[in-house]
Amino acid sequence: MADPAADSPELAADLAANDTIFGRILRGEIPCDPVHADGRCLAFRDVAPQAPVHILVIPRRRLVNLAEAQPEDADLLGHLLLVAAQVARGQGLTAFRTVINSGADAGQTVFHLHVHVIGGRPLAWPPG
């Protein structure tokens, strides 16, 4: 996989300062099972899947969570959702759930925004 940070000093600095597990994955310090990669995001299989398909889509530039997103993040947020749909289709899913936990009380445990793509089995509502 090419290193998008090599072309962007701002992205490289952000990546170097990102002390989350996702920062370590993006730097290549922790391996992952990627299903999509581009200059703006990485999608990979969750190591503790909650369904037969459980993929995380993370931006390469760190946003802590959705609550901290700004208007200038709109293009990136849209891209993350389009990639989520693309990877779901790539996994053969015709029905799936996307989840973005924003804040500890909402279940966020890694403070780097990420989109969960979950499917491959019936999903009940409401969730936990």
State the Cα torsion 107-98-18-24 to the nearest 10°: 100
Q: Please say if 114 is a catalytic residue.
A: yes
Q: Contact at 8 Å (CB) between 78 and 86?
A: no
- Residue 108 sits at φ, ψ, to 5 deg, of -70, 125
Rounded to whole angstroms, the Cα distance separating 115 from 87 reads 11
Q: Which of 54, 112, 114, 116 is catalytic?
A: 114
Q: Which residues are catalytic?
A: 114
